[in-house]
Amino acid sequence: VSAIDEAATELARLPGIGRKTALRLVYHLLRQPEERVRALARALVGLSERVAPCSLCFNYAERGQLCQICSDPRRDRTVICVVEEASDIAAIERAAEYRGLYHVLGGRLSPLDGVSASDLTVEALVKRVRQGGVAEIILATNASVEGEATALYVQQALEPLAVRTTRIARGLPVGGDLEYADGVTIAQALAARREM
Ligand SMILES: [Zn+2]
């Protein structure tokens, strides 16, 4: 396999990139100064070598450190917003309304895909709440059937701890991913959250 083929094959595995686009990117890279290509390669290797889950919230973090949000002293540590994926955090941060912390579940309950409660970080969330100092848990899983089932499961797991638990409003399109919602929609869904 030629280096060009190898690079094109790897790029074509990325979402939204077909074989044609992959080849276009490869030819583009071949025209760049060597240092630029090396910098890109280093950045990609860094993703697997230096990024690891935050030990508190499971957001992406530099290995061995808390994530940027957990280590920010200006964040309100009494509120935790529970999301399915770390990429959902970026969407909520874009709305620029929320100042609390997060908890990344690592997916949603989905029997068909073989995802059960033990695959998610619910137990770690319960532990976090049990340590005290948390006044509210906002469940911001997606508005899909699986997202709703997951929210219900988390709420039941938290029930014995008597912490206020709210669910973001359904301003979001049903089945729509938080990740693709605009900032205004997310801000409205957060503001109109209701008790569970
Ligand atoms: Zn964190």
**What would the pLDDT profile of 147-161 be if each residue is shown by its tens digit?**
999 999 999 999 999
What is the reported pLDDT for 1? 86
Distance from C-alpha of 168 to C-alpha of 196, rounded to nearest angstrom: 10
Structure tokens at 160: 């014995």
The CA distances from residue 138 to 16, 93, 103, 135, in Å, are 32, 14, 10, 10
Q: Which residue has the tokens 């997202």?
A: 147
180 C-alpha vs ligand 1 centroid, how far in Å? 22
104 C-alpha vs ligand 1 centroid, how far in Å? 9
What is the reported pLDDT for 196? 83
Q: Are 129 and 137 in contact (CB under 8 A)?
A: yes
69 C-alpha vs ligand 1 centroid, how far in Å? 6
Question: Beta strands of the chain (E only): which ranges?
Answer: 51-53, 60-62, 76-83, 100-104, 136-139, 164-167, 194-195
pTM above 0.85, yes or no: no
Sign for the pseudo-dihedral over CA of 45, 68, 196, 170: negative
pLDDT per residue of the chain (196 residues) written in tens, 0 to 9 = 899 999 999 999 999 999 999 999 999 999 999 999 999 999 999 999 999 999 999 999 999 999 999 999 999 999 999 999 999 999 899 888 899 999 999 999 998 889 999 999 999 999 999 999 999 999 999 888 899 999 999 999 999 998 999 998 875 555 567 777 777 788 888 888 888 8
50 C-alpha vs ligand 1 centroid, how far in Å? 15
Identity of the residue numbered 132: G
179 C-alpha vs ligand 1 centroid, how far in Å? 18
Distance from C-alpha of 58 to C-alpha of 52, rounded to nearest angstrom: 8
Q: Which residues of 109-122 are buried (b: 16+ CB within 10 A; e: fewer)?
A: bbeeeebeeeebbb
What are the tens digits of pLDDT across the range 14-25?
999 999 999 999
What is the reported pLDDT for 32? 97
Distance from C-alpha of 56 to C-alpha of 38, rounded to nearest angstrom: 33
**Contacts (Cβ under 8 Å, ≥6 apart) of 46:** none
The CA distances from residue 141 to 105, 106, 181, in Å, are 9, 11, 13
